[in-house]
Structure 1
Amino acid sequence: MKSGNFSPEWASLNNTERSVISKYHQTAPIQVGKIAKELGASVKSATLKAGISGEIKETDGQILIRINRHDSKPRQRFTLAHEIGHMLLHRDRIGDGIVDDILYRSSLSDTLEAQANRLAADILMPYHLTMEKLHEYEDIVDEERKYESVARDLEVSTTALKIRLGKL
C-alpha cells in the first residue's frame, strides 16, 4: 500500500468529502450506499446490458448511479464505490453519462478509470480496518483462506483485496 495508507485520489478530495466517507470507516462492511446518498447521489439497482456493471449520469445537477443488479454483491459494491470515484474526481466529465463495463473501462482514459478504482479501494477497504480484519484472522496459515475471510467481512472480492494490499 502507498505511504499514508491512502491513494493520491483520496488526498485530492476536499475535507467535507473525506469527512463524509471517513465517518463510515469505523465498521465493516463499509456502508457504500449511505456514502453515495450523503454525497448527493441517487443509486438505483437496474438491469443493464450484458457486460455493463454500472453507469453514472448527471441531469439538472442531480447525479444518478445505476448498478447492474445481476452482478455479485461484492461487484455491485465496488462498482458503486467506483462510480462515487467518478462523481468526486471527474464530475466535469460525466456529462450525459459514463458507462463502465465489467473491467471498469469506459469512454474515459485508462488513467481516469484507474483513479476511480483507487478511490473505490480507499472507500471500501480503509487501511486501518483492512489491517484489523487481517489481524483477526492471523491464526489462518493458508494465505488464500485468510484473504477470502477478510474479503467476505469487507464484502469485496478477494481480487480487489489483494490489489489493495499490493499482492497482485
Structure 2
Amino acid sequence: MNLSDQWDVLTEARRTLPVPVKSLPAMLGIKMKPAFLPSGISGMLEKNGESFLVTINAADPDTRQRFTLAHELGHYMLHRHLIGDGLDDDRAYRSTEVGKYHNTLIGPKEETEANKFAANLLMPREAIARERERLGNDVSKMANLFGVSEHAMSIRLGVPYPRA
C-alpha cells in the first residue's frame, strides 16, 4: 500500500469514535501484537522483513495501549526512514536504553511529533469541537467517548487535570 493510501485509511478512521486504532495496523500493512514488555516499556516498532511490527505492552490499561499504538503509528508514518531495525518507547514515550532498541536517530523532536500525531489521530480537533459543544468540558465523558485517558483528554481540552 502506498503512502497516499495509508493517509486515506487514517483519515477515514478518524470519522469514527472512538477511533478504531487497534484495527489500523492491519489496514496499513503492519503486524501488531500485544505482549508483556519489560517494565518501563510501553511499545516497540520493529522492522519485520519488508514490513513492520508494532508491539504494545499488554500490561497497560486499554487507554494507554491505544495511545501507545497511535504513537508508534506516528513513528511509522512520520519517521519510517529513521527506524532502522527498530525503536522502543519508555513510559514517557522516549527511546532510551531501557528496551531492546536504543534508537539515537529518534530524539525529542520526533517523540513530540509522534505524540502530536497520536493525539490528532485519537482526538481529532473537529470531533473534539463537536462533542465539546454537546458535552462541555466534562473530561470523564469526553475521555470515555474518545477511548483515551482523562489525563490525555484534559491536555487536549486545555483544562487542568486534577492530581490525586
Q: TM-score normalised by the shorter chain: which range applies?
A: 0.7 to 0.9
Gaps of 5+ in 1: 1-13
Q: Is the 8 A contact 1:27 1:129 kept in 2?
A: no
Q: Deviations over 1:31-50 (max 9, x none)?
A: 01222221111110100001
**1:161 corresponds to 2:156:** no
Match of 2:12 among 7, 12, 23: 23
Q: Is the 8 A contact 1:56 1:97 kept in 2?
A: yes
For 1:73 and 1:148, the matched residues in 2 are separated by 15
Q: Deviations over 1:55-100 (max 9, x none)?
A: 0001211110000001011000000000000001111111221010
Show the counterpart of 2:87: 98
Q: Which amino acid aligns with 2:33?
A: K
Q: Percent of pairs identical after alignment?
A: 38
For 1:165 and 1:40, the matched residues in 2 are separated by 32
User: Which ranges of 4 or more aligned residues in structure 1 deviate by more than 6 Å?
Assistant: none
For 2:86 and 2:121, the matched residues in 1 are separated by 22
Aligned length, in residue pairs: 149
Gaps of 5+ in 2: 96-102
Q: Which has the higher contact order (CA 8 A, sep 6+)?
A: 1
TM-score calculated relative to the size of structure 1: 0.82
Cα RMSD (Å): 1.5
TM-score calculated relative to the size of structure 2: 0.84
Match of 1:56 among 12, 35, 45: 45
Q: Which amino acid aligns with 1:88?
A: M
